[in-house]
């Protein structure tokens, strides 16, 4: 059965039962717990939820957009029918528009319209975030070099949180850091998330980094080991609570379903050669059974 579903539902139940309702910049209150931790053994299970449908194609392509294409251009995703970054896209004139909770002249949080200018050179991007940072510092290439040639290295880190580039990022990275090691022929990683939208972001993010681990391991002639996942501020927005209660009800009444098997094209030996077309041909789930979609609103 799916251990990931069990662990995920435990977090959701904890937030609803013990979490604190707080105001945040989006204007939609959230219910949060301050910290949480998961561990996944990728030899035993590929983590993708069964209590709701998670779309592996979109998850894979967003991950490849960041770490393989190393792009911040939202149109790259849109051409592949992936729309998850549309709300953060800078417009033709170089502006990003949203409504957020910001301090007024008295320091009181009030709902305000955001009309932030990034510059026309950033049109259709998310600014200096995610793939921009990976590309600037050649993070994926450097990590692969260390895994292959210096597997004993204790400095295998990719950090998307770069202070010099925060002001020109539409959304500073939520999943902001990953640390990697090779032990007994297995590739392990530890992922850090500073802010976690549990209904929308977490299911995608966990599946993406598990997939990244599997792809890198295959590319470097290793097996996949463990993924540790640390969260600061695990939250559910108040307009998502009904959807999460539905997911909990599914779990309590129907249990979880068997975890699927991840298939990666065994012919691909180079991370940068995995197919990133719309069809994402080198990634498939075998026997993925799920309980159907649950729609959750996005808060900016």
Count H helices and E strands in the chain, helices first: 7, 11
Residue 239 DSSP label: G
Whether 213 contacts 42, CB under 8 Å: yes
Q: How far apart are CA 284 and CA 287, in angstroms?
A: 10
Q: How far apart are CA 192 and CA 23, in angstroms?
A: 23
Q: How far apart are CA 125 and CA 228, in angstroms?
A: 30
Q: How far apart are CA 120 and CA 227, in angstroms?
A: 39
Q: Phi-psi category of 287—alpha, beta or left, where left has phi over 0 and alpha has psi -120 to 50? A: left
Whether 264 contacts 82, CB under 8 Å: no
Beta-carbon contacts of 288 under 8 Å, excluding residues fewer than 6 positions away, are: 48, 50, 56, 260
Indicate which residues carry an active-site annotation: 174
Q: How far apart are CA 185 and CA 149, in angstroms?
A: 13
């Amino acid at each position: 059965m799916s251990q990931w579903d069990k662990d995920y539902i435990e977090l959701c139940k904890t937030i609803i039962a013990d979490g604190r309702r707080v105001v945040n910049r989006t204007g939609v209150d959230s219910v949060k717990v301050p910290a949480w931790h998961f561990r996944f053994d990728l030899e035993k299970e590929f983590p993708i939820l069964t209590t709701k449908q998670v779309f592996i194609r979109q998850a894979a392509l967003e991950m490849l957009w960041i770490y393989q294409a190393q792009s911040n251009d939202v149109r790259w995703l849109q051409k592949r029918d992936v729309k998850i970054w549309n709300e953060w896209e800078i417009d033709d004139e170089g502006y990003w528009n949203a409504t957020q909770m910001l301090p007024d002249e008295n320091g009181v949080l009030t709902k305000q319209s955001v009309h932030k200018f990034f510059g026309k050179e950033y049109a259709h991007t998310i600014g200096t975030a995610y793939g921009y940072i990976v590309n600037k510092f050649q993070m994926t290439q450097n990590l692969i070099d260390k895994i292959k040639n210096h597997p004993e290295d204790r400095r295998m880190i990719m950090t998307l949180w770069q202070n010099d580039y925060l002001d020109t990022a539409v959304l500073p990275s939520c999943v902001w850091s990953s640390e990697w090691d090779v032990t007994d022929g297995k590739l392990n990683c530890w992922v850090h998330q500073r802010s976690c939208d549990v209904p929308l972001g977490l299911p995608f993010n966990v599946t993406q980094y598990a997939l990244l681990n599997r792809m890198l391991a295959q590319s470097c002639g290793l097996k996949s080991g463990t993924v540790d996942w640390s969260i600061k501020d695990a939250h559910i927005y108040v307009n998502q609570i009904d959807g999460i209660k539905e997911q909990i009800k599914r779990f309590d009444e129907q249990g979880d379903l068997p975890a699927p098997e991840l298939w990666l094209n065994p012919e691909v030996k180079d991370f940068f050669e995995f197919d990133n077309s719309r069809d994402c041909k080198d990634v498939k789930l075998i026997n993925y059974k799920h309980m159907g979609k649950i729609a959750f609103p996005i808060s900016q």
